Chain A
Amino acid sequence: MAPYLIKRIAGLAAVLLVMSFIVFCLQSIIPADPARSLVGPSAPQETVERLREEMGLNDPLLVQYGHFVSRLVEGDLGTSIRTRQPIAEDVLRYGPATLELILAAMVLGTALAFILAFAQATLARSGAIRVGMLTLGSVPIFLTALLLAYFLWFKLGWFPGSGRIDIRRFSGPTGFFVLDGLLLGRPEVTLGALRHLFLPALALSVPIAISVGRSLSSALVDVMRQPYIRTARGKGLSAGHIFLRHGLRNAASAPLAMLGLQVGLMFGNLLIVERVFAWPGLGLYTVQSFATSDLPAILGVALVFGAFYILVTMLVEIAQSLADPRIAL
């Protein structure tokens, strides 16, 4: 397994390098001169020239890219125009909220995917479920979010519709409020955080549930037809044991890959859901950066998301090879 992992990690590092190169190229096509914008329009030309030299803006593009990568490795993502803070600090401040939301959406999405797959496998009218999934998959994410907010928050008042928590100026040791409540021994914090998480996580989980559910149900149908399932039944193993050890484990690979892919597709949805529910995470931060054309911040966050996606892809591959040792070959 080790050489396989090393090979995969090298491949993913290459992808990350490509991403950083794309971001670097995007940054250098902005017409504005960073040195000029730093010293202001009234500064003399010599000052700008000296600063350009100091900032390395006169170096060849490839050298500049080298500097850019070495700064990235040190964790320097540049400075935001809007917040005037290092982008890395902003990411650390808003990141936990987004990570909490992503994890909640993945858990909820996987649970819903199981329900959908079971419904399709056991109910007689699976055609109706197929059309239902097609319809649900056609809803633009902002419509899902708006309808959830309108009915479950505004009309019925079952769940809060904006923010992360009702307690003002709350801050915990980890930044993950669900976890903070447990660590501080304040169950009301955890409960409040979970209630706030529900609507945005549900909106985000719908696309995940549908694509993972589709893939899970077709994989399960395939696996449960296999001869070894019949053998297991013949041996008199319990239905639960057959399903978990023989069925699900063999069917897990494709849905797992789909789950990883969905995390990659989630970022666009994340921006929208955080905007609709005023969730103070990286998505909302990025949307606000769009409004002020804060390109360094947008690209910095994009790079962080990209790295996160690659990490998820790697975890998915490890999970796949745990479920099916043949994959590691």
Chain B
Amino acid sequence: MSVSMPSIAAPASAKFSWLRRMGWLERIGLAGVIAITLLAIFGPQLAPFDPMLRVADAYLPPGLPHLFGTDEIGRDLFSRVLLGIRYTWLPGLAVIGIALVIGSAVGVFAGMMGGWVDALFQRIVELFLVLPSTLIAISVVAALGPGLLNTMIAITIFWWPWYARMTRDEVRRIRSRPHVEAARISGVSKTRLMLRYLLPGTVPALLVAATLDVANIILTLSLMSFLGLGLPAPAPELGAMTARSIDSLTVYWWLPILPAVVIFVMSVCANLAGDGVRSALRGA
């Protein structure tokens, strides 16, 4: 019995060894990120009240049955915030995903080609990195017209160069490794070299950067939403909810504060989870 124990325990601990490398705070962050993602997908179904309709008196303070109180026309703030999580979290993940795809594609290409392609690419990325990005993103959305899609496009434009540079640097590092050299000499096609030999090597670094960026994206998106550059008025975007009720801060504090607190919770969880992913991959 005592002999068979280690053989059962060993594979299990190997399977979850990445989780062991995280601190408990980081695990909470990771759990929070999973919970937020579920809320973003199923939140509207879980909402106790209709987020768009008047369900009670206006300006009820937080309590039961209205956990976060009610707003200026008697809508349930908690239900609206649940819907608002979807409008902030999912676009944030989408922006990261798209920026990762564009950035890694461009980065792998430039890193593999080298020469003038790489030099040209480096200059373009540098230009993006020195421009004041938030400022231009705001101007772009102001010019194209407010809206969630335009906001996402504007942020993506300024986000992919970071990933492109990171991928490119990783590729330059991996390129000279023996296994890649062996593949090149044995006549593997360029596409296959890119997809099977170079791209996989960039994944850990990109994964860490991307998870640490989720919080940044959430904060940038809610900043744009606060400035009125996101979805139009009735939609419950968290940043916009705070902005619209900002003048009632001293009377009905929960209206501007609680949506902002929810953004804060999302961003803390994302930051902790990002740290967790970093320490999990460090040992791998």
Q: Is B263 an interface residue (CB 8 A)?
A: yes
The answer to whether A268 touches B138, judged by C-beta atoms less than 8 angstroms apart, is yes
A140 near B223 with CB under 8 A, answer yes
For chain A residues 254-269, which have a beta carbon within 8 Å of chain B? 264-265, 267-269
Q: Collect the chain B residues with CB atoms within 8 Å of residue A23's CB.
A: 139
> Would you call A295 and B142 a contact (CB within 8 A)?
yes
> Within the complex, which residue of B132, B142, B264, B268 is in contact with A306, where a contact is CB–CB below 8 Å?
B132
Binary A-proximity of B203-216 (CB < 8 A = 1, otherwise 0): 00000000000010
A interface, size bucket: 35 or more
The docked-state distance in angstroms from the alpha carbon of A146 to that of B138 is 22
Report Cα–Cα, A154/B256, bound state, in Å.
15
B220: contacting residue among A135, A149, A268, CB under 8 A: A268
List 18 A-B residue pairs with CB atoms under 8 Å apart, sorted by A's residue number. Answer: A29-B144, A131-B25, A138-B268, A138-B270, A139-B267, A140-B222, A140-B267, A142-B256, A147-B257, A154-B250, A264-B134, A264-B135, A265-B133, A267-B132, A268-B224, A291-B228, A299-B143, A305-B135
The chain A residue sitting closest to B261, CB to CB, is A143
Is A27 an interface residue when CB atoms closer than 8 A count as contact?
yes
CB < 8 Å neighbour of A287 from B131, B227, B250: B227
> 0/1 per residue, B104-144, Cβ < 8 Å to A?
00000000000000000000000100111111101110111
Bound-state CA distance A135–B239 (Å) is 19
Q: How far is the CA of A299 from the CA of B228 in the complex (A)?
A: 16
Chain A contacts for B138, CB-based, 8 A:
267-268, 271, 298, 302
Residue numbers in A under 8 Å from B148 (CB-CB): none
Q: Is A141 an interface residue (CB 8 A)?
A: yes
How many residue pairs link A and B with beta carbons under 8 A? The number is 129
The reply to whether A15 and B127 form a contact with Cβ atoms under 8 Å apart is yes
Q: A27-B143, A150-B257 in contact; A140/B263 too (CB < 8 A)? A: yes
Query: Do the beta carbons of B130 and A15 come within 8 Å of each other?
Result: yes
Number of B residues contacting the other chain (C-beta, 8 Å)? 44
Contacts of B223 in A (CB 8 A): 140-142, 268-269, 272
Pick the contact of B271: A137, A141, A146 (CB < 8 A): A137
Q: Encode A15-32 as 1/0 by CB contact (under 8 A) with B.
A: 100110011001101100
B224 cross-chain contacts in A, Cβ below 8 A? 268
| 19 other A-B residue contacts (CB within 8 Å) besides A15-B127, A293-B142 | A19-B136, A22-B139, A26-B139, A26-B140, A134-B268, A134-B271, A134-B272, A138-B219, A140-B222, A142-B260, A143-B257, A146-B256, A154-B250, A264-B134, A272-B223, A290-B142, A290-B228, A295-B143, A299-B142
Residues in A whose Cβ lies below 8 Å from that of B140: 26
A313 within 8 A of B: yes
Please measure, in the bound complex, the distance between the C-alpha atom of A149 and the C-alpha atom of B235, giving whole angstroms.
Answer: 26
Decide if B264 touches A143 in the complex (CB within 8 Å).
yes
Question: What is the distance, in angstroms, from B156's C-beta to the closest C-beta of chain A?
Answer: 16
B182 sits at the interface (CB 8 A): no
1/0 contact string of B20-64 vs chain A (CB within 8 Å)? 000001000000000000000000000000000000000000000
A196 at the interface (CB under 8 A from B): no
